Amino acid sequence: MAFFSIENIQLNGISAAVPKNLVSNYTLPGFEKEELEKLIKTIGIEHRRVATEDICASDLCIAAAEKLLNELKWDKSEIEVLFFVSQTPDYNLPGSSMHIQERLGLPKSCITFDINQGCAGYVYGLSLISAFLSSAKISKGLLLVGDTITRLISPKDNSLIPIFSDCGTATAVSYNTSAKKISFNISTEGKDYDAIIVPEGGARKPMDKVSYEDENFGNNVTRKGFHLNMKGLDVFNFSLKKVVPNVEELLNRANQNSENIDFFIFHQANMLILDSIEKKLNIDSSKVPSSLKDFGNTSGATIPLTILTNLVKEGKVINSKMVLSGFGVGLSLASAIVDFNDVITTELIEL
The answer to the question of residue 197 lying near another protein (CB under 8 A) is: no
User: Of the candidates 328, 10, 14, 6, which has an alpha carbon nearest to the alpha carbon of residue 185?
Assistant: 6
Distances in Å between the Cα of 5 and the Cα atoms of 33, 84, 250, 337 are 49, 22, 10, 9
Among 209, 233, 284, 314, binds another protein (CB under 8 A): 233
- Which among 38-46, 65-73, 124-132, 139-147 is the span making contact with another protein, rule CB under 8 A? 38-46
Q: Exposed, middle or buried, 15 (CB in 10 Å: 0-12/13-18/19+)?
A: buried
The answer to the question of residue 232 lying near another protein (CB under 8 A) is: yes
Residues 115 to 144 in contact with another protein, rule: CB under 8 A? none
| Shortest reach from residue 157's CB to another protein, in Å | 12
| Shortest reach from residue 272's CB to another protein, in Å | 5
> Can you give the three-state secondary structure of 244-263, one letter per residue?
HHHHHHHHHHCCCCHHHCCE
| Shortest reach from residue 341's CB to another protein, in Å | 36
**Helix H or strand E segment including 47:** strand 47-49
| Shortest reach from residue 247's CB to another protein, in Å | 16
With vertex at residue 226, the alpha carbon angle to CA 225 and CA 229, rounded to the nearest 5 degrees, is: 80
Among 276, 309, 310, 320, binds another protein (CB under 8 A): 276
- Which among 197-205, 230-238, 282-290, 301-309 is the span making contact with another protein, rule CB under 8 A? 230-238
The answer to the question of residue 237 lying near another protein (CB under 8 A) is: yes
Distances in Å between the Cα of 233 and the Cα atoms of 159, 174, 190, 226, 297 are 12, 40, 17, 21, 17
User: Of the candidates 144, 166, 165, 149, which has an alpha carbon nearest to the alpha carbon of residue 63?
Assistant: 144
The answer to the question of residue 36 lying near another protein (CB under 8 A) is: no
Binding mask 4-23 for another protein (x = CB under 8 A): --------------------
DSSP secondary structure code for residue 158 in this structure: T
Among 279, 315, 342, 347, binds another protein (CB under 8 A): 279
The answer to the question of residue 98 lying near another protein (CB under 8 A) is: no
The answer to the question of residue 222 lying near another protein (CB under 8 A) is: no
The answer to the question of residue 240 lying near another protein (CB under 8 A) is: yes
Kindly tell me which of 20 and 38 has the beta carbon lying closer to another protein: 38
The answer to the question of residue 39 lying near another protein (CB under 8 A) is: yes
Residue partners of 288: CB distance under 8 A and separation at least 6: 263, 264, 265, 266, 274, 278
The answer to the question of residue 236 lying near another protein (CB under 8 A) is: yes
| Shortest reach from residue 220's CB to another protein, in Å | 10
How far is the C-alpha of 12 from the C-alpha of 23, rounded, in Å? 32
Among 2, 7, 24, 42, binds another protein (CB under 8 A): 42
With vertex at residue 125, the alpha carbon angle to CA 123 and CA 126, rounded to the nearest 5 degrees, is: 60
How far is the C-alpha of 155 from the C-alpha of 159, rounded, in Å? 11
Strand 332-340: give its sheet, edge to edge: 2-6, 182-188, 332-340, 320-328, 263-266
- Which among 35-43, 54-62, 283-291, 305-313 is the span making contact with another protein, rule CB under 8 A? 35-43
From the CB of residue 74, how many other CB atoms can be counted at a distance below 10 Å?
17
Residues that bind another protein (CB under 8 A): 34, 38-39, 42-43, 159, 219, 231-234, 236-237, 240-241, 272, 275-276, 279
